[in-house]
């Protein structure tokens, strides 16, 4: 009995001791887990940002293994010396492993660290990166493919311009709008009504406006010969000055300097809808027999074209704004679509050198069409067969014609 009771007490005590230590261990374990540090990002590499004018460094790192344990982001810190204090230069969101420090000085050496931060503001720093300096580059290699393809197209254009005088007659497809120019001017002359020319609403820094002014020059020469009244309201002051000079020279070269008046070309307003209101008013009051809309247009295109239609004018439009082309096609008699606008001055001049440039353009089209067909076929074969060979080739074609951000 006594032995049983001693044994019983012993085992009870043992059980109590075991219980207490297990609890304690558990508490120790959980507090250990509370104290377990956030794992830092690793493999921090800092390098000069390529293809720039200096002043930028890219910092890359491997993500912290604790990404899914509540990390809210990474703070990037830098210093001019590994032993000096590091100061913050920016933050990257969780999941991102790249940061561009765009505030560096090229003459200084920098050291970087990446600090993982969680919601409780616990931080864990990486190792210090090797030293790095930013520097400017003389060539942006990300644009190499652009240089090659651009060079091919520009080279073709220049080649055909240079060789245009060899006398070979070029085939040019009919552009109805350009063939109708003389007829349209003749109609206005017969009816004794003026011709309205709108060179678009953008400024001279837009190539469509330049195209519009060059066509104005050619059209003005014919108008001068026919002795018809011309009205050119402009939306920009520089366009007004350029158009005035162009029209004046056209009249002089047609031998009709006496017929020219500075009032042919006049400024209206820069404001889009104020301009179209003025143009509509001119149309309704002066009732031009022919309206040319050649240049860059926005929403006002349909308003002008419909008003022109209402007054019974013959309308020839040309723009490289894809959104406005449908309105002109619906409302005008003739429309120069996109590239036809830029080809128009070459067409109207008939000069071999200008026409040669159109042939050079065709080389560009061949490159574009070939790339589209080849790329589409490769993607299709890849989708059907799943073969990585087609996939890699498709990716190559895609990269050849992409501009990757530097």
Partner 1 sequence: MNPDNPKMGFFETIANIDRRVIFLFIGFAVIIPVLLSFSCREEATPIVQSIFDKIESLPEGSKVLMSFDYGPSTVPEVQPMVDAFLRHCCEKNLKIYMMALWGTGHNLISESMEDIIKEEFPHKVYGLDYVNLGFKAGQQGLINVILTDLKKMYTTDALGSEIDAVPMMVDIRNLKSFDLILSMGGGFPGIKEWVLFGGDPGNIPVAGGATAVSAPLLYPYYPRQLLGLLGGIKGAAEYESALIKGYPKFKTYSHPAIDMMGPQTVAHIVIVFFIVIGNITFFMGRKKEEGEKREGGALK
Partner 2 sequence: MRRQIPLIITFIVGSVLIISVFIPHKPFGQLGENFSVYFDIIAVFAFILGAGNLLRVHGNRIYKKHKDWPYSMVTVAGFTVMMIAGLFKIGGSPGITGDLTEPGSMFEELYMYVFTPLMATMFALLAFFVASASHRAFRAKNKEATVLLLAAFVILLGRTPFGVKLTSWLPDPLSFLEIPNLASWVMSVPNMAGQRAIMVGIALGVIAMALRVILGVERTYLGADSE
> Residue numbers of the site for partner 1 (CB under 8 A)?
55-56, 90-91, 93, 100, 102-103, 202, 272-273, 298-299, 310, 322-323, 405-406
Assess 324 for contact with partner 2 (CB under 8 A). Answer: no
State how far the Cα of 123 lies from the Cα of 266, in Å rounded to an integer.
67
Assess 276 for contact with partner 2 (CB under 8 A). Answer: yes
Assess 163 for contact with partner 2 (CB under 8 A). Answer: no
State how far the Cα of 140 lies from the Cα of 285, in Å rounded to an integer.
56
How many CB atoms neighbour CB 209 within 10 A?
Answer: 25
Number of residues that bind partner 2 (CB under 8 A): 87
Alpha-carbon dihedral of residues 67, 70, 71, 72, nearest 10 degrees? 130
Nearer to partner 2, 25 or 372 (CB): 372
The interface partner of residue 303, options being partner 2, partner 1, none and the CB cut-off 5 to 8 Å by kind, is: partner 2
State how far the Cα of 123 lies from the Cα of 139, in Å rounded to an integer.
40
Assess 200 for contact with partner 2 (CB under 8 A). Answer: no
Assess 159 for contact with partner 2 (CB under 8 A). Answer: no
The interface partner of residue 103, options being partner 1, partner 2, none and the CB cut-off 5 to 8 Å by kind, is: partner 1
Interacting residue with partner 2 among 138, 166, 167, 174 (CB under 8 A): 138
Q: Contact 397/375 with Cβ under 8 angstroms?
A: yes
Q: What is the distance, to the nearest Å, from the Cα of residue 133 to the centroid of all Cα atoms in its chain?
A: 31
Assess 248 for contact with partner 2 (CB under 8 A). Answer: yes
Assess 202 for contact with partner 2 (CB under 8 A). Answer: no
State how far the Cα of 246 lies from the Cα of 264, in Å rounded to an integer.
11
The interface partner of residue 91, options being partner 2, partner 1, none and the CB cut-off 5 to 8 Å by kind, is: partner 1
State how far the Cα of 15 lies from the Cα of 25, in Å rounded to an integer.
15
Instruction: Of 223, 217, 399, give the one whose Cα is nearest residue 294.
Output: 217
Assess 397 for contact with partner 2 (CB under 8 A). Answer: no
Partners of residue 46 on adjacent β-strands: 59
Q: Which helix (H) or strand (E) holds 231?
A: strand 230-234
State how far the Cα of 22 lies from the Cα of 26, in Å rounded to an integer.
6
CA angle 117, 123, 128 (to 5 degrees): 105
Assess 29 for contact with partner 2 (CB under 8 A). Answer: no
Where in 48-87 is the site for partner 2 (CB under 8 A)?
51-54
The interface partner of residue 145, options being partner 1, partner 2, none and the CB cut-off 5 to 8 Å by kind, is: none
**Piece of the chain touching partner 2 by CB under 8 A; list 46-54, 68-76, 109-117, 287-295:** 46-54
State how far the Cα of 351 lies from the Cα of 354, in Å rounded to an integer.
5
Assess 341 for contact with partner 2 (CB under 8 A). Answer: yes
**Piece of the chain touching partner 2 by CB under 8 A; list 27-35, 131-139, 180-188, 383-391:** 131-139
Q: Contact 139/280 with Cβ under 8 angstroms?
A: no
Q: Contact 48/85 with Cβ under 8 angstroms?
A: no
State how far the Cα of 112 lies from the Cα of 75, in Å rounded to an integer.
10
State how far the Cα of 80 lies from the Cα of 363, in Å rounded to an integer.
53
Interacting residue with partner 2 among 163, 365, 398, 399 (CB under 8 A): 365
Nearer to partner 2, 72 or 237 (CB): 237
Nearer to partner 2, 124 or 222 (CB): 222
Nearer to partner 1, 90 or 186 (CB): 90
Nearer to partner 1, 90 or 364 (CB): 90
Instruction: Of 96, 104, 120, 98, give the one whose Cα is nearest residue 37.
Output: 120
Draw the binding track, 277-316, toward partner 2 (x: CB under 8 A; -: no contact): xx--x---x-------------xx-xx-xx--x-------
Both tokens assigned to 247: 């029209």
The interface partner of residue 90, options being partner 1, partner 2, none and the CB cut-off 5 to 8 Å by kind, is: partner 1
Shortest CB 43 distance to partner 2, Å:
28
Shortest CB 53 distance to partner 1, Å:
9
């Amino acid at each position: 009995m006594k032995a049983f009771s001693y044994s019983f007490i012993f085992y009870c005590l043992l059980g109590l001791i075991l219980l207490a230590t297990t609890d304690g261990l558990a508490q120790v374990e959980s507090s250990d887990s509370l104290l377990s540090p956030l794992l830092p990002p690793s493999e921090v590499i800092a390098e000069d940002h390529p293809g720039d004018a200096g002043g930028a460094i890219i910092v890359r790192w491997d993500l912290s293994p604790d990404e899914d344990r509540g990390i809210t982001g990474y703070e990037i810190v830098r210093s001019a010396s590994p032993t000096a204090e590091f100061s913050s230069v920016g933050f990257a969101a969780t999941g991102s492993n790249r940061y561009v420090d765009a505030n560096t000085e090229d003459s200084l050496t920098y050291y970087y660290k990446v600090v993982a931060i969680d919601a409780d503001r616990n931080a864990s720093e990486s190792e210090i990166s090797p030293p790095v300096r930013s520097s400017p580059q003389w060539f942006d290699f990300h644009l190499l493919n652009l240089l090659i393809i651009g060079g091919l197209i520009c080279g073709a254009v220049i080649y055909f311009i240079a060789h245009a005088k060899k006398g070979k007659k070029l085939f040019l497809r009919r552009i109805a709008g350009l063939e109708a120019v003389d007829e349209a001017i003749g109609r206005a002359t017969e009816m004794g009504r003026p011709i309205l020319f709108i060179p678009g609403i953008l400024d001279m820094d837009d190539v469509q406006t330049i195209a519009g002014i060059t066509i104005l020059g050619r059209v003005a020469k014919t108008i001068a010969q026919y002795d018809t009244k011309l009205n050119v309201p402009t939306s920009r002051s520089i366009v007004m000055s350029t158009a005035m000079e162009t029209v004046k020279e056209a009249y002089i070269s047609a031998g009709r300097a006496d017929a020219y008046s500075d009032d042919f070309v006049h400024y209206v307003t820069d404001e889009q809808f104020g301009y179209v209101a003025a143009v509509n008013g001119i149309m309704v009051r002066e009732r031009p027999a022919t309206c040319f809309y050649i240049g860059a247009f926005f929403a006002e295109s349909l308003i002008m074209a419909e008003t022109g239609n209402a007054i019974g004018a013959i309308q020839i439009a040309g723009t490289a704004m894809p959104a406005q082309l449908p309105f002109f096609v619906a409302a005008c008699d003739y429309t120069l679509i996109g590239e036809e606008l830029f080809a128009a001055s070459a067409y109207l001049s008939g000069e071999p050198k200008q026409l040669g440039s159109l042939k050079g353009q065709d080389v560009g089209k061949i490159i574009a069409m070939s790339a589209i067909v080849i790329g589409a076929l490769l993607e299709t074969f890849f989708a059907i067969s799943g073969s990585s060979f087609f996939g890699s080739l498709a990716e190559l074609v895609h990269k050849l014609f992409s501009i990757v951000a530097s």
